Amino acid sequence: CGSWPAIWSTGPDWPNGGEIDLVEYVSLQSKNGFSVHTGPGCWAGSTGYSAEGMLAGANSLNCDAHATDSQGCGFRTTQNATCGVGANAKGAGVYALEWSNAGIKAWYFPRGEVPQDILDKNPNPWSWSTPDMYIAAEGCNPSTYFQPQTLVVNSNICGTWPEGVWHTDGDYSGQSSGSCAALTGADTCRDYVLNSAHDFSHAYWRIKSFSVYNY
């Protein structure tokens, strides 16, 4: 509980240069969140992907960071074990992102289900399964809303998201063991971190590689 890891990228002049979140979750959640954050005018479609929207209401597919309180348009995998402890217990896997004129797509492939072309270092996204996230160019042209990106790998401890769901039973996000407040006995994330720093010895990344392909 209390950790907030992410692998993401960002362009200049946020959010106008775009942000893409490939891996993001908090605490013991086991359903990964994919999202993009842009300036006004970028909208995700309602088809072509398998994940579920993370927001409800009129702005559920609005990727404009200012219109969504900085959340952009987010999509959570429907299956468990796509991030965190759940994914690690199954040997983790591969996160893949395709950025093309058709839009931006993202996938998670668990170990044992990674496409052979990825293992052969000759990826062919057209042959892969339905993406978890798809931001189609019809509603959000990448050349308009995304500039050259800088890759970021970081781990926050506490922050707005872990604090905001500290007392929430996170079954919807794959944290079925109960709220962090109940699991730790701490009333806030901050209190937990200040008194239980040793619990974060397992909050680290183990990344085999980053591979970038142009076609």
Assess whether 19 carries a catalytic annotation. yes
Assess whether 163 carries a catalytic annotation. no
Half-sphere exposure of 108 (CA within 13 A, CB side): 29
CA distance 210 to 140: 26
Task: Evaluate the omega torsion of the peptide bond into residue 40 and state whether it is cis, within 30 degrees of 0.
Answer: no
Amino acid at position 39, single letter: G
Q: Give the residue among 32, 43, 42, 9 at the shortest CA–CA distance from 78.
A: 32
Catalytic residue (one of 24, 52, 113, 138): 24
CA distance 128 to 114: 10
Catalytic residue (one of 19, 52, 98, 138): 19
**Placement of tokens 């050259």 in the chain:** 148
Catalytic residues: 19, 24
